[in-house]
Chains A and B, each alone.
Chain A
């Protein structure tokens, strides 16, 4: 009877080498993390912040300014609401999901009147003004409704589908652009971020 012991000699089998590798990874990785943190702090404090970016409907960018007429013929500017969170909603009367979410916008407007401004922008180039009036009356909407009669704001905001909601924080920076219906609970859950 013979006893045969097989030692598989391989670099991978060396426990000390693995320990050295893991320690090196921790030290180098940790240093990289600290370096990244310093860079991030510098960046956040520098002029490479939202103000340095071009206005665009992209999270982190200043929201593009607009000036549109309300159904009553008054002029409404986004800049009028700087200092308050704003929810801009693009919609049309023929859009089913827009119709479904409108009551939630009205309820959110009523319950959060002091904390949130909701602006409904009708895509009037793809709609009819008299239908818009009937729709708003039917929905009982009391938040500002404006008409994008040239389509310029829709284009500036890159709206490709309806409804599209743009959450803008109190500094005028875009927080989120969402295409699809949203509800009151989701709107209110965003307030702490704005």
Chain B
């Protein structure tokens, strides 16, 4: 585990640092891919940076609103530059909405944009998972296995490695099938389907999963829902293009 990286007397937290690296690498790959889809790569960087800013601000605002009784007496505490006090899930949703608004306002074809983003998302997941492993975040269940990783004196499933491996497999699939785009958005929905499937399978190895209603793993339910949505979108787009009439 390497929770912090020391540079002189400054301790930088590893996980947030690698998340930033993941974002940058993901944007780079998406911008590179965008060229092949006749898109301006600048849209990738702009959307990414607007999304990052909105996500961080949104995550902080949501956290403060969720704990209003603690912040109301002194609202300036909400302005702390500390990386604590962030509602990550809600921040991601807000970031996604801002990205969509940016794309709509700049008339960027959504299907092409998200097809370009798909391999970048997979790459970001790989780096982010490695960051989680090094930072000791999102730990796996205790396990007595040859490949178990010892954290805090306990051997655990390296779930972060499993997730990085799944994301790497997805990246390879997207690379191998990069020329197969039966319709705009196909590669993105393929990514969603594969990633959702991997989360559905792997979440059971998480040490402290988010549970709802008598012990159901919330991430599994969301993953199954996302998988069904992705397959439904594919079904609609594939089966809706079964007949073409040419009159001449």
Contact = CB atoms under 8 A, between A and B. Distances in A.
Interface of A: 1-8, 10, 12-15, 18-19, 21-22, 25-26, 29-30, 32-33, 36-37, 39-41, 43-44, 48, 52-61, 158, 160-162, 177-186, 188-189
Contacts of B78: 185
B123 to A, nearest CB: 26
Contacts of B142: 48, 52-53
B80 A183 contact: yes
A166 B193 CA distance: 38
A15 B235 CA distance: 7
A6 B84 contact: no
B101 interface: no
A48 B141 CA distance: 9
A7 B211 contact: no
Given A1-B248, A19-B235, A54-B152, A188 B84 contact: no
A19 B82 CA distance: 48
A182 B136 CA distance: 20
A18 B82 contact: no
A54 B153 contact: yes
B228 A5 contact: no
B4 A179 contact: yes
Nearest to B196: A29
Interface stretch (B17-25, B30-38, B126-134, B237-245): B237-245
Nearest to B182: A12
Contacts of B1: 158
B106 interface: no
A9 B151 CA distance: 54
Interface stretch (B88-96, B168-176, B214-222): B214-222
Contacts of B153: 53-56
B217 A36 contact: yes
Contact of A61 (B82, B152, B215, B220): B152
Nearest to B80: A183
B220 A36 contact: yes
A18 B238 contact: yes
In this complex, the interface size class of chain B, counting residues with CB under 8 Å from chain A, is 35 or more
B99 interface: no
B110 interface: no
A180 to B, nearest CB: 5
B217 A37 contact: yes
Given A61-B154, A160-B11, A4 B77 contact: no
Contact of A185 (B77, B211, B244): B77
A147 B152 CA distance: 24
A36 B204 contact: yes
B13 interface: yes
A190 to B, nearest CB: 9
Interface in B39-81: 63-64, 67, 70-71, 74, 77-78, 80
B4 A160 contact: yes
A53 B6 contact: no
B6 A160 contact: yes
B80 A53 contact: no
B13 A33 contact: no
Contact of A40 (B215, B224, B235): B215
A182 B246 contact: no
Contact of A56 (B3, B154, B201): B154
Contacts of A189: 63, 67, 70-71, 85
Contacts of B244: 5-6, 8
Contact of B83 (A53, A180, A188): A180
Contacts of A41: 214-215
B242 A18 contact: no
B239 A15 contact: yes
B77 A184 contact: yes
